[in-house]
Amino acid sequence: MRDTFWDARREIRELRARMDQAFRLARQQQAAAAGQLAPPLDCHVGPEGFTLIFDVPGVDRASLNVKVEHGVLTVTGEKPAADDATTRVLRRERAYGTFRRTIPLPEDADPSQVTAKLQDGELRISIGRQAEAGPRRIEVVAE
Amino acid sequence: MTDHLDTILDLRHRLVRMLEAGGATPPSARETFTPPLDVVHAPGGLTITVELPGMAREEIDVELHGNMLTISGERKTRPCEGQQCLRRERRGGRFKRSLALPTSDHNELSAALKDGVLTIKVQRS
pLDDT tier at B25, thresholds 50, 70, 90: very low
- Quote the ipTM score: 0.72
pTM score of the predicted model: 0.72
pLDDT winner (highest mean) among A5-9, A75-79, A102-106: A75-79
Name the residue with higher pLDDT: A78 or B83: A78
Give the one of B26, B37, B116 whose C-beta lies nearest to A120's C-beta: B116
**Residues A3-18, mean pLDDT to the nearest whole number:** 78
**Residue with the larger pLDDT of the pair A83 and A76:** A76
A30 touches chain B (CB under 8 A): no
- The partner residue sitting opposite A58, judged by closest CB among B51, B82, B99, is B51
Note whether B115 contacts A58, CB cutoff 8 Å.
yes
Name the residue type at position B87. R
Instruction: Name the closest residue on chain A to residue B24, using Cα atoms.
Output: A22
From A25, A94, A120, residue closest to B36, measured CB to CB: A94
Are B124 and B105 within 8 A, CB to CB?
A: no
State whether B39 and A89 contact (CB < 8 Å).
yes
Pair A122, A56: CB distance under 8 Å = yes
CA distances from A86 to B42, B45, B47, B101, B102 (A): 6, 11, 13, 20, 19
Q: Mind listing the pLDDT tens digit for each residue in A27-55?
A: 666 665 565 688 999 998 888 899 999 99
Phi, psi of B101 (to 5 degrees): -85, 155
Q: What percent of chain A has pLDDT over 90?
A: 43
pLDDT digits over B71-95, tens only? 999 998 766 666 788 888 888 889 9
pLDDT at B27 over 50: no
Distance in Å, alpha carbon of A109 to nearest chain B alpha carbon: 13
Q: Contact A76/A98 with Cβ under 8 angstroms?
A: yes
**Mean pLDDT across chain B:** 82
Distance from CA of A74 to the nearest CA of B (A): 16
Chain B hits for A28, CB-CB cut-off 8 Å, are 89
Where b means 16+ CB within 10 Å and e means fewer, A85-106 reads: eeeeeeeebbbbeebebebebe
